């Protein structure tokens, strides 16, 4: 059986987890972007 002692994650482990979460968020946004209705850009260049 695995040892399930609750130890705080190291800073490196937290950074890796945050980077992985960011990549998954980007991938999810990319793949769901086409399914959402497109908003017509109405801003004009200043």
Higher pLDDT, 29 or 1: 29
Q: How far is CA 20 from the centre of its chain?
A: 7
pTM of the model: 0.47
Structure tokens at 37: 């209705």
Q: What is the pLDDT of residues 4-33, one digit of tens each?
A: 566 777 999 999 999 999 999 988 887 776
């Amino acid at each position: 059986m695995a040892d399930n002692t609750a130890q705080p994650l190291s800073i490196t482990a937290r950074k890796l987890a945050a980077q992985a979460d960011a990549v998954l968020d980007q991938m999810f946004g990319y793949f769901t972007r086409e399914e959402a209705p497109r908003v017509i850009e109405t801003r004009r260049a200043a």
